[in-house]
Homo-oligomer: A and B are copies of this chain.
Amino acid sequence: MADVASIAGVSKATVSRVLSGAPGVSAETRARISALAKELSYVVSPDASRLSRGATGRVAVVMPQTTTWYYGAVLCGILEVLQPEGLDTLVYQVAHDGESRRFFADLPAQRQVDAVIAVAFPVSDFERRQLDLLGVPVVVAGGSLLHHAYVRIDDVLAARQAVTHLIRAGHERIAMINSMVTDERPFAPPADRLRGYRSALDDAGLALDPELVIELPWSTTMGAQAMDRLLSLPRPPTAVFAFCDEIAVGALRSLRRAGIQVPRAMSVIGIDDHPLAELCDLTTVHQPVQMQGRRSAELALSLLGGAPVTEQHLTVPTHLVIRGTTAPAMSGED
């Protein structure tokens, strides 16, 4: 910056004002200096700038994984909002317990970012306390966390939309394949979706058969495993509601291998409207994932802006997408 100033024959202060868009510089000088800066392809050092001004211009995104579509899509939405604002995005992947301990104990994000967006992951008590310690606004996408701002879907409702669709098609033995979650790290979506499943059955006066609820720790093939288990039951279900589309697709594979016709002999529905759902012709409940990323970034922005944020808790809508994996129950099945 000193260079630019001396070449332009002005003081660093003026250059600073121009480059930071501060008022108090004649249009002529402003134009001349910004042109010069561009020519020299000079940009201010963010670090120095932030050191003196206080804010970092960065926001941290914390997610348990980066390889599944959901997290990629949320990240995409976040970047779409943050990048145009000139904010940089730091990604922290906090996967297994070891990483989690280190991350939350060392707080590498501290004094490093102006805000934190936590994307859909189970937060333990300890972790929550550490988050507060960061001393910056925290917004949660795809979940919720005490008093913090959040953006999410209504998981109970989404599950109800899925299960109700099956019930209307005449199904009575409806299984659920759910993602397992530990007590120590509570994670709302699986619990909420199970609740939605229950209440939909209730409303229809259908009994819940505990055998039909399979809970397994997440993995690529867990949908297939769960389906295998359901098929080995003395009285298998006629329809399956999966926690998410990836699981539903795994279930479809098992069914294909077992030679069971979908949807004639078995209906399958998921949640997400994963791109792959369209490819597999999977009936599902759509949730706007990228939008949740965008909204959470916008929330972070307004929290940053200091403006009193009126709506800190956003619930975005979901809707049923009927494709080819659900059909009326075969009559005379029982």
Contact of A111 with B220 in the complex, beta carbons under 8 Å: no
Contact of A107 with B66 in the complex, beta carbons under 8 Å: no
Chain B's closest residue to A276 (CB) is B276
* A188 at the B interface (CB under 8 A): no
Interface residues of A in 53-109 (CB under 8 A from B): 56, 58, 65-69, 71-73, 75-76, 79-80, 83, 86, 88-93, 99, 106-108
Contact of A89 with B91 in the complex, beta carbons under 8 Å: yes
Contact of A69 with B66 in the complex, beta carbons under 8 Å: no
How far in angstroms is the closest Cβ of chain B from A99?
7
Contact of B51 with A47 in the complex, beta carbons under 8 Å: yes
* A190 at the B interface (CB under 8 A): no
- Determine the interface band of chain A, counting residues with CB < 8 A from chain B: 35 or more
Chain B's closest residue to A49 (CB) is B47
Q: Name the contact of A249 in the complex, choosing from B50, B56, B252, B276 (C-beta under 8 A).
A: B276
Contacts of A46 in B (CB 8 A): 111-112
How far in angstroms is the closest Cβ of chain B from A255?
12
How far in angstroms is the closest Cβ of chain B from A45?
5
Contacts of A75 in B (CB 8 A): 66, 91
Would A41 and B88 be within 8 Å (CB), given that A46-B112, A67-B72 are in contact? Answer: no
* A306 at the B interface (CB under 8 A): no
Contact of B76 with A72 in the complex, beta carbons under 8 Å: no
* A35 at the B interface (CB under 8 A): no
Apart from A47-B50, A68-B72, A79-B93: 14 A-B pairs, beta carbons within 8 A = A41-B133, A43-B106, A43-B111, A45-B51, A46-B111, A66-B76, A67-B69, A71-B72, A90-B90, A221-B278, A250-B279, A253-B279, A256-B281, A276-B276
Chain A residues within CB distance 8 Å of chain B: 41, 43-48, 50-51, 56, 58, 65-69, 71-73, 75-76, 79-80, 83, 86, 88-93, 99, 106-108, 110-112, 133, 220-221, 224, 249-250, 252-253, 256, 275-276, 278-281, 290
